[in-house]
Amino acid sequence: MDLPTLWFCIIALFWLGYLFLEGFDFGVGMLLPVLGRRETERRVLINTIGPVWDGNEVWLIVAAGATFAAFPAWYAGLFSAAYLPLLFVLLALIGRGVAFEYRGKVDSVRWRAVWDRVIVLGSWVPPFGVGLILATTVFGLPLDADGDRVGSVLESVRWETVLGGLAVSGFSLVHGAVFLALKTEGEVADRARRIALRAAPVALAPVLALLVAVQAEHGTGWSLLSVAVVPVAGAVAVWRVPGGG
């Protein structure tokens, strides 16, 4: 294996780690107004990810740093072609982190409601933006021969990149529901199980559609096997775990 291929595999591992570990706490934030019907329940939901949400974001930092170190042209092209989605992702992550810290600083229903909205927004925007950005990389960055962006600032927003955003968002939603079904008890856990079971077919459909689109564009025989086996195995696992097998 040559050095560029090795680095590419390392960066892919960092992104997988980020999406897998950060995915469930994004899902918890997405489900905050759905599962947290009372302040006590919302506090329980936030406490499930309290010890880990900021640590999970280290994977994103390392992935970006490794890309800059190993593939500076890729890094520069990506940040040039998709800087507006990246800006929204960063602002959402900052707001989400501030909301976790500040929502409990004042004993006021209105105060907490405002920061809860920030948490929900900050949990939907990053996975959608990350999915869009990664899909932009896969399907082609809108760059010319000199590495400059071609077209408007929204040139990276195309049907296949939006599909990537929906895929990561849907995955995070289901992941968060399954996580809460395992980490909580009582009514919250029951609601989380029901949401995971009902939402999985719809929320994970963009993942399968994205894999099919990538297979059609860049696929080989080996990738076709992964498209057929991995989503089905993942869907079966998601379906069985919330219901206890």
How far apart are the C-alpha atoms of 135 and 204, rounded to whole Å?
16
Q: In the chain, what are the helix, strand and coil shares in percent, each to the nearest 5? A: 80, 0, 20
Summarize pLDDT for 13-46 with one digit per residue, the tens.
Answer: 999 899 888 889 999 999 999 998 899 999 999 9
Question: Mind listing the pLDDT tens digit of every residue in the chain (245 residues)?
Answer: 788 889 999 999 999 899 888 889 999 999 999 998 899 999 999 999 988 888 888 898 899 899 999 988 888 888 877 888 889 999 999 999 999 999 988 889 999 999 999 999 999 999 999 999 888 888 887 777 776 777 777 777 888 899 999 999 999 999 999 999 999 988 999 999 999 888 888 888 898 888 888 878 776 766 666 666 666 676 666 566 544 44
pLDDT tens digits, 121-131: 999 999 999 99
* Residue from 20, 27, 136 nearest 86 by CA: 136
